[in-house]
Structures are given as C-alpha cells and as structure tokens.
Amino acid sequence: MNVSKLMGWATAVLLTGITTYTAVPNVLGEEAKQTAAWNLSQEDQDLINVTNGDIMGERCKDGAWEFHLYTTDGYQEMANGELVYVFGYTHAKGSFKNVGEVTTKEQVEQLLEPVRVPSDPIHLFVGEKARITLHNTGMHCTNANSGLNHVAHTIHFHGLDLTPAIDGVPSLPVDPVLEHKSFTYELTPQYEGSFMGHCHVDSFNHILAGMYFPIIIHQDRTKTAYGYKYDRDYTLFFSELSSTANEQLQESGVVHGLQDWKADYFLINGRTFTDNLYHPRSVINDPRSRIVAYEDETVLLRFMAIGADHVFAIHPHGYHMEVVALDGRKLKSSYEKDTLCIASGERIDVLVKIPHFASQRKCLSCNLGAGITIMHDHNLRGMVSTGKYPLGALTIFDVKSREKVAQPEVPVKGKPYNPLEH
C-alpha cells in the first residue's frame, strides 16, 4: 500500500467539518466519499489517524522508514504580502521519495515542493528504524557572487541524543553534505515525544534563515503521548525570522552587524496573524495551526521554538494548559499554566481539556464569536512583525459542539470563511 499517496485524501477527511478560507467548495465532501470507498486497511487508517494525514516516508521491505530531504532556497509569502527569501529543507512533490540528485533550478521547480519554513514534520516510531537522506541541491536564488553559494548543510536531530557520527554536527567526524552530494542518517528512535531537526553548519545563519522542522516520535499507532490519551493534536512551531538578514545572505552571504540581528517576523508554523481574518496566509487559516476541536475533547499541543533570543510566552484565553512533557520527556507530575515561556530549542507538550459549553463561550477580549478564543505571545514583541501589531504569533481555538445543528461543510461559493459568523 502506497501510504504517502493516500495522505492527501486523508487530510481531506480530517478537514471535513473544518471549513477554512482555503477550502474549495464541494471538493472536501467528494474526497471524503472517495476515501471511504477506498476501504483502507486498519493499519493504514491507524497510521493516518496518528500522523494527521501528514506526508510519510516510504516503508521499506526491511521495515525501515525512508525519507529524502532536499535543501534549497526560495521565497516565503507572508500575510502582509511580502516575499521573504529563505532557505531550508523540502522534499519531492507529494512524498519523501528519492527523486535522485537535483542540481539545477529547473529540476528544483519540476521535482520538489517549494521550500517552506518550517519544513514539513517527520513522523517516526519508537523502535522502528529510519533512514533519512539529505541531498544538497545548492542555492538557486542567490546572487552569482554570494558567499552562500556552494555551502554545505546537515541535519542535527535535536533532542534525540544520538552518537555524533550521525548527529549533524559538521566534521564530528562526518563531513557536512556538500553541494550536489547526499548523506544518509540512520537511526532508531528510543523515546517518543516532540523533537526538531535543524542544520548545524554556520548555525546562526542557516537555522535562522529557515533550516528547521518538527520531528514527532510516536510510541505506537494510537492517539496517546507519554501515556496520556488525546483526541486531537497540533504541532505549533514558534520562530523568528529576519527578512533583512536573509536578504543579505542572498546577496553577499554575510550578515552585516550580526550582533544587531533583529527579527521582523514572529511566526507560528511560518505564518503571522493579520488583522485581515480571511487572509489565506494568516496563521488562523492554516489547518495545521488553527486549533479546531469539539467540546469535551482533549487536545495535545506540541509547542516548539527556535530563534535568536526571543522567548515566546504562550497564553491562551479561556483555558489553562496541563504541561505533561518537557523536551521530549514525560514529567513525573504534570502542572498547569496559562502563560508558558518557551525559548529556542525547547519543546513543551501540553494537554488542553475542552470543557462542555466551550462552543458557546465568547472571549470578551477578542470578541471573535462563540467558541473562538485566541492564544498569543504575551511577550508582546512577538505580536509585532514589520513594525505592525497584531502581525505576530497568534492563533485561535475554534471549538464546536457535536450537539449543535450541523453547519454547512463548505462555504458558499465565492464567500470566504468568516469566523465572525461562526
């Protein structure tokens, strides 16, 4: 069974009932029907269920999961319309398959997904071997004389406590992956939890330019984490980005006055909130970042952060969070917080129990409508991007009731999803 091929359909199933601006009328309903007709094996259904339909690696005959990551550069569109130069990891279109060595801009565009920051999560399983091959395609959007051309990259598996030989710190003792070369990292996860991968070459510049992604390690094919059951889970990657520094890397390969490096974007999963609630690039219109849940459910939130010096203070309105794990290890006893600081490199896993009637509750401070409450960075620097508030790290809880009259599954054609009418 080609699992990765099914993931697009699975995503449609998961999104059914979650109407967003980007939903295309009738498509989700039709895809859901087709998926039901496909009659997936129980094993595939369980896998899709626990990985939220994210693209998966290929399962090899020896049982190992195989991923092929490609480094390249490109532009990330922000909610304010700016195209920010970034470089990072990507993969083949629609899969993590091997498409051979990619060396030209034409091949990058033809064979690979556009680079995104952070790049797509990698899902692994405890005790199941993974082979992750990194291919360095080179830079394709830089100036001809930029010092960024021809640079090497690695993957550091942050928090996996691996032996240095396969942990992506350059030349300890393995050389980094040079332009047009590849290297395969082989590992077998021992602990479940939330981790991240990032480059470890010229770390300040490469990481902050966009070279990072979540690594989620599951204990098994059930919706449990650290022994706790949950109904839904979201991975929220908080990060900061400097379009000025990235431009300087693109042009010359050197950031001038690095001691004064300053973010002009504060992001959740690569996006800022914007006062235009319908903007398709806003955090709240990203199915991975808008926290949709039903009353009485338990939601697992996997927070992770990367940046130069900003500490995000995550604060949801209307809910306390039960902190169950720090940095990929279960706490001996959990504790509750409504404002949770997370610094670069940290991962914090929390459970949010959605109370009954939460779909009727209105947040008086944001007043976005019944069932909708915001969660934002309370270090308010992180709520200002390109000098404007509230363009920053903010998302929403969007809580529904199973008892309410069913809402239409798709928006009326031509009319964007409007949380105010929720």
Phi-psi region of 384 (alpha: psi -120 to 50; beta: other; left: phi over 0): beta
Distance, in Å, from the CA atom of 238 to the CA atom of 255, rounded to the nearest integer, reads: 23
Closest distance of CB 199 from Cu ion, Å = 3
Site of tokens 């590849």: 182
Does the protein bind Cu ion through residue 199 (CB under 5 A)?
A: yes
| From 77-85, 194-202, 243-251, 377-385, span contacting Cu ion (CB under 5 A) | 194-202
Site for Cu ion in 140-169 (CB under 5 A): 153
Cα separation, 156 vs 16, in Å, equals 36
What is the rounded CA–CA span in Å between residue 165 and residue 256? 33
Q: Which is nearer to Cu ion, 12 or 201 (CB)?
A: 201
Q: Does 48 bind Cu ion (CB under 5 A)?
A: no
Q: Does 69 bind Cu ion (CB under 5 A)?
A: no
- 177 is an interface residue for Cu ion by CB under 5 A: no
Shortest reach from residue 301's CB to Cu ion, in Å: 29
Nearer of residues 153 and 232 to Cu ion, judged by Cβ = 153
CB of 132 to Cu ion, least distance (A): 15
In the complex, the smallest distance separating the C-beta of residue 204 from Cu ion, rounded to whole angstroms, is 11
Closest to Cu ion by CB, 212 or 273? 212
Q: What's the token pair of residue 118?
A: 């952070």
Smallest gap, in angstroms, from Cβ of residue 196 to Cu ion? 14
362-364-366-369 Cα dihedral, nearest 10 degrees: 30
Is there binding between residue 206 and Cu ion (CB under 5 A)? yes
- Is the CB of 200 or the CB of 290 nearer to Cu ion? 200
Minimum CB distance to Cu ion smaller for 201 or for 321: 201
Strand-strand pairing, 321-326 and 291-294 = unpaired
Name the residue nearer to Cu ion (CB basis): 169 or 326.
169
Nearest CA to 326 among 307, 342, 309, 306? 342
- Nearer to Cu ion by C-beta: 69 or 351? 69
Binding-site size, Cu ion (CB under 5 A): 4
Secondary structure class of 233 (helix, strand, coil): strand
Tell me which stretch binds Cu ion (CB under 5 A): 94-102, 193-201, 270-278, 356-364: 193-201
Only segment of 15-23, 195-203, 317-325, 401-409 that touches Cu ion (CB under 5 A): 195-203
Give φ, ψ of 243 to 5 degrees: -70, -30
| H or E element at residue 47 | helix 42-51
Integer distance in angstroms from the first to the last C-alpha of the chain? 39
Question: How far does CA 312 lie from the centroid of its chain?
Answer: 16
Buried residues in 345-357 as b, exposed as e (16+ CB within 10 A): ebbbbbbbebeee
User: Binding string, 298-327, against Cu ion, x = CB under 5 A?
Assistant: ------------------------------
Distance of CA 182 to the CA centre of its chain: 24
Asked if residue 352 binds Cu ion (CB under 5 A), the reply is no
Q: Which chain residues interact with Cu ion by CB under 5 A?
A: 153, 199, 201, 206
